[in-house]
Amino acid sequence: MLNSLLDFLAHGLLHFSWWQLVLYTLVATHITIIGVTVYLHRCQAHRALELHPIVSHFFRFWLWMTTGMLTGQWAAIHRKHHAKCETEEDPHSPQTRGIWKVLLEGAELYRSEAKNEETMRKFSHGTPNDWMERNVYTKYPILGVSLMMVLNVALFGVVNGLAHWWGYRNFNSSDASTNIFPWGIIIGGEELHNNHHTYATSAKLSNKWYEFDIGWMYIRIMSAFRLAKVKKIAPTPRLTTGKLVLDQDTLQAVLANRYEVMARYGKALKRAYRQELAHLKEVGAREKYQVMRGARSWFHKEEAGLDEPQKRQLPQIFANSQKLKTYIDMRNELAAMWERSNASRDQLLVQLQDWCHRAEQSGIKALQDFAMRLRRYA
């Protein structure tokens, strides 16, 4: 009897070997991660897709059993993160709370915000509130807590922390979000965080050809079996050949792809800055070169994202290069078009036509090429 009890404690009912236990843990953790990114994040928090009731409740039950997380709480906290991003009210911003606070105490930050009744009331709308949610999941959240709760919070704490602190950016979104890795496998695609903050309601988190979002792969598989229905993904620019007239269709396409437009402009600005540095070095303008070389890593960024010493350095750079000043002025004018919410479509079209005309008349080849590309948006 004693030997049987000891054997049960050592190996469990299924008598798994060590490698089988490791495999089970990896598979179970992966299902939890997919449940968070597909069900909680993309479906519930952002409504980027709809899931079949069977799939939806499977994930809801699984997450409750393995982590104790509640759908309404998770969605509310995440929506507040987007609404108050990088401010004091953001539940887990490393920009305001510090990187180590978010990485090491992410679970505590989550639990603290979950107790905020105002957050739950304001941001949890549309999440499940049926009999199971009220009488089982909400009443007994700790029944399902296991080791995966620790693993899951730790993994997604990386997103909440590092992905607003370190990584690469495809888009100059207004927050500090970054992509940690281009291959979203370990935490279901959440590694592509800058893409997500740029297109928050997109069911697909990858954006460039070299990026991979395993969560999107599962969504496509479920869609093939009619278990999921994608409602929205990030727009993909379409360019026509031989189009020279900038019309309402062009305006609509440019507005829809404005983040891609500004990201492409930023890359053009980086190239222009490198060319200007190379020119100054070639002609022996050592003093001007020394003034400008330190700005290589930040000059292409939007002015709102620069710190005060960098902003103070801009007039010196402009004094050395009228071309770069023209680049910056034209970028600011282009970006301002997205912010003019009170302008009519006809007014925006006139502004875009005028911008393209002045870019083509600037004598700067990169601006001329950029304006010609804008005309081809469809």
Indicate whether 279 and 365 sit together in one domain.
yes
What are the 10-residue block averages of pLDDT along the chain, 378 residues in total?
A: 48 62 80 93 94 94 84 89 89 84 77 85 88 79 53 59 82 84 89 91 94 96 96 89 84 89 87 82 78 77 78 83 86 83 84 91 88 88
Whole domain around residue 74: which residue ranges? 2-230
Indicate whether 112 and 223 sit together in one domain.
yes
Residue 242 lies in a domain: no
Indicate whether 160 and 211 sit together in one domain.
yes
> Long-range contacts: 96-100, Cβ < 8 Å, 24+?
99/161, 99/162, 99/165
Indicate whether 35 and 180 sit together in one domain.
yes
Indicate whether 179 and 287 sit together in one domain.
no
Q: Confirm if 374 and 250 have CB atoms less than 8 A apart.
A: yes
Residue 92 lies in a domain: yes
- pLDDT attached to residue 34: 94
Indicate whether 24 and 92 sit together in one domain.
yes
Rounded-to-integer distance, Cα 33 and Cα 40, Å = 10
Indicate whether 172 and 123 sit together in one domain.
yes
Q: Confirm if 212 and 206 have CB atoms less than 8 A apart.
A: yes
Distance between first and last Cα of the chain: 76
The count of structural domains within the chain is: 2
pLDDT in tens, 304-331: 777 888 888 888 888 888 888 888 899 8
Residue 133 lies in a domain: yes
- pLDDT attached to residue 341: 65
Residue 298 lies in a domain: yes
Indicate whether 137 and 29 sit together in one domain.
yes
Indicate whether 213 and 133 sit together in one domain.
yes
Residue 269 lies in a domain: yes
pLDDT in tens, 162-195: 778 888 888 887 788 899 989 989 889 989 999 9
Residue 240 lies in a domain: no
DSSP annotation string for 294-347: TTTTTTTS-GGGS-HHHHHHHHHHHHH-HHHHHHHHHHHHHHHHHH-TTS-HHH
Burial 224-253 (b: 16+ CB within 10 A, else e): eeebbebebbbeeeeeeeeeeebeeebbeb
Indicate whether 334 and 189 sit together in one domain.
no
Rounded-to-integer distance, Cα 206 and Cα 195, Å = 7
Given CA atoms 247, 249, 255, 261 in this order, what sign does their dihedral have? negative
Residue 57 lies in a domain: yes
Last residue of a domain, one of 195, 230, 265: 230
Indicate whether 282 and 353 sit together in one domain.
yes
Residue 74 lies in a domain: yes
Query: Of all helices (H) and strands (E), which one includes residue 50?
Result: strand 49-51
Last residue of a domain, one of 198, 230, 262: 230
Indicate whether 147 and 191 sit together in one domain.
yes
- pLDDT attached to residue 363: 87
- pLDDT attached to residue 224: 96
User: Global pTM?
Assistant: 0.76
The pairing of strands 49-51 and 212-213 is unpaired
- pLDDT attached to residue 69: 81
- pLDDT attached to residue 10: 46
